Structure 1
């Protein structure tokens, strides 16, 4: 796998983990927020990211219990676009600027943040 792609995937996973942690903490603190997240997760994430996820992205929130645990198997990045090299434009996106990539229900969607907001402000 191309070194820039590995770096991009690592940064994307870190950004996702930070966003997920923020949402979990808010859900623990507020029953109202938790119910909104369960009932309309896409709207909550759109609001938290201050951007709109693409129409075809689906988000499902599952709540674990002491007797039920979920294991999420993300799409294997090595198999996504297998055999396809990144274009110069895609490499440029990875090399510069700030991107947040969410892997949600096995769908990769990248949201480029071209304003001056730092990545930490998004998560």
Structure 2
């Protein structure tokens, strides 16, 4: 069963809230953290960055314009 990116994103956040060791590893080595916790292997050419919002922060992530990116928007840029 394929999990949607939204559900996966929510699962990662919930695990980071509940598991301090995972949260720290997510910041220090996100690819390894995601592989170990969720079985996700992210290719070397994809950079993963984490940023933890604080109470008075609002982070707005602007994704690439789909018309300018060469990937299937239904499966993400790094999934095979």
For the superposition of Structure 1 and Structure 2, which TM-score range results when normalised by the shorter chain?
0.7 to 0.9
TM-score, with length taken from structure 2 = 0.77
- Which has the larger Rg? 1
- Name whichever of 14-23 and 47-56 sits farther off: 47-56
Number of aligned residue pairs: give it: 76
Structure 2: gaps spanning 5 or more residues: none
- Candidates 37, 53, 61, aligned match of 1:64: 53
SS across alignment from 1:32: helix
Q: Higher relative contact order by CA 8 Å / sep ≥ 6: 1 or 2? A: 1
Cα RMSD over matched residues?
2.2
- State which of 75, 79, 100 in structure 1 corresponds to 2:64: 75
Distance 1:37 1:19, change over 3 A: same
Q: TM-score, normalised by structure 1?
A: 0.53
Give the drift of 1:20.
Answer: 1.0
Structure number with higher strand proportion: 1
Which aligned pairs between 1:1-123 and structure 2 lie closer than 5 A?
A: 15-81=4-70, 101-102=75-76, 108-111=77-80
Unmatched segments (≥5 aa) in structure 1: 1-13, 82-93, 95-99, 103-107, 112-123
Quote the Cα distance in structure 2 between the aligned partners of 1:57 and 1:49: 17
Post-superposition shift, 1:51?
A: 4.4
| Structure 1 segments (4+ residues) deviating >2 Å | 46-52
Distance 2:75 2:40 in 1: 12
- Per the TM alignment, residue 67 of structure 1 is displaced from its structure 2 partner at its CA by 1.6
